Amino acid sequence: MLEIRDLAVGYGGRPVLSGVSLTVESAELVAVVGPNGAGKTTLFNAVSGIVPSAGGTIRFDGHDVLALAPCERPHLGIAHVPEGRQVFPSLTVHENLQMGAYSAAGRAAWEENLARIHAWFPVLAERGGQLAGTLSGGEQQMLAIGRGLASAPRLLMLDEPSMGLAPAVADDILERIVEIHRSARLSVLLVEQRVAEALNFAHRGYVLETGRVILEGDHDTLRADDRIRAAYLGM
């Protein structure tokens, strides 16, 4: 489904990503982990078109993603839930969800998608008329995920969905992501600071450090690697 090959991205002449390659297959959950500053958010931003690439290829179902304007990429079925949630605080919860449904697929399936989003996140149904800026951090994260789902994506990219949340709330968010992935058979590319949980949930994972993929494998392989155990799992 998603195939990235030898991706390079830089800012002001400084390389941030160098030769990054990864794949996400249909109905697969893939995790990208690594320290702060490794380039994880930049990777997502390159797929979405927020930052330009300096080399390499990104293909989605055979389409050359880099040849498309950023506004065209969601119409392929790619949804990006950014780091820090970035909801529209002065719009209501319902209006935020409507903003996510601007793709052709999202508009066509709006009523069905809204019902599924409300089933996965009942608080969004309860607070549909409430301003998004007044929600708690966990509720805003649910809204950000719901807004991404409103576009009827085939690939959902989630950037640090547990960031800044209390452990119990973060656990709930991650469990709901796994439920959505399984019940909707949705492909998910997940950047997550909680490495143990991310690798436990994922089919496969990539470890990104200083802009390069240094390790990749299924969750058992990565969790058994001594470098991962020492650096990220505290073992």
The C-alpha atoms of residue 193 and residue 199 are separated, in whole angstroms, by 11
The pLDDT assigned to 46 comes to: 97
Rounded Cα distance, 179 and 173, in Å: 10
The answer to whether residue 12 sits within a structural domain is yes
Determine the angle formed by the axes of helices 137-149 and 110-120, rounding to 10 degrees.
150
pLDDT digits (tens, 9 = 90+) for 134-185: 999 999 999 999 999 999 999 999 999 999 999 999 999 999 999 999 999 9
Measured CA to CA, the distance from residue 33 to residue 26 in angstroms comes to 20
229, part of any domain: yes
**Does residue 218 lie in a domain region?**
yes
pLDDT of residue 225: 86
Q: Kindly give the interhelix angle for 93-100 and 110-120, rounded to the nearest 10 degrees.
A: 130
Number of domain units in the chain: 1
Note the pLDDT of residue 234: 65
Q: Supply the range of the domain harboring residue 9.
A: 1-75+156-161+192-235
Rounded CA gap, 18 and 21, in Å? 9
Closest listed residue to residue 88, CA positions, set 118, 130, 121: 130
Answer whether residue 146 is part of any domain: no
Q: CA-to-CA distance for 127 and 202, rounded, in angstroms? A: 31
Whether 213 is in a domain gets the answer yes
Map tokens 């143990």 to a residue: 196
Residue 63, in any domain of the structure: yes
Q: What is the pLDDT of residue 50?
A: 95
Residues of the chain scoring pLDDT < 50: none
CATH of the domain at 66: 3.40.50.300
- Give the list of residues 6+ apart from residue 168 with CB closer than 8 angstroms, or none: none
List the structure tokens of 12.
């002001």
* CA-wise closest residue to 4 among 51, 50, 46: 46
Residue 41: inside a domain = yes
Q: Distance (Å, rounded) from C-alpha 42 to C-alpha 210?
A: 12
CA-wise closest residue to 83 among 111, 54, 48:
48
Residue 31 lies in a domain: yes
Residue 138 tokens read as: 């966990």
Task: Please say whether the beta carbons of 150 and 117 come within 8 A.
Answer: yes
Contact 56, 2 (CB under 8 A): no
